[in-house]
Amino acid sequence: MYDPASGVKMKRKDKRTRKIWQQGRRNKHKELLDMLKLENPGATELTLDKKRKKNEKKRGHTSI
């Protein structure tokens, strides 16, 4: 793996950096959702609901 921020090749099992990268991806997704919310307030709730349902199906139990 290559870390573009520091320009260094990293070891594969560098869990901390992987977590940081995942966090970055999550934030990016959040930003996209926020942009969607501004454009079309009703649509994002549906997509989030779909995701929630899918995850609950995977876990085998549902939340309220």
Q: Does the pTM of the predicted model rise above 0.85?
A: no
pLDDT at residue 23 in the model: 78
What gap in Å lies between CA 25 and CA 1, rounded to an integer?
Answer: 16
pLDDT at residue 6 in the model: 63
Q: Which phi and psi (to 5°) does residue 18 adopt?
A: -60, -40
Model pLDDT for residues 5-54, shown as the tens digit of each residue:
666 666 666 667 677 777 777 787 788 777 777 777 666 666 777 878 88
Find residue 2's DSSP bridge partners. Answer: 9
Pair 17, 10: CB distance under 8 Å: yes
- Which two structure tokens, joined as six digits, stand for 10? 């990293």
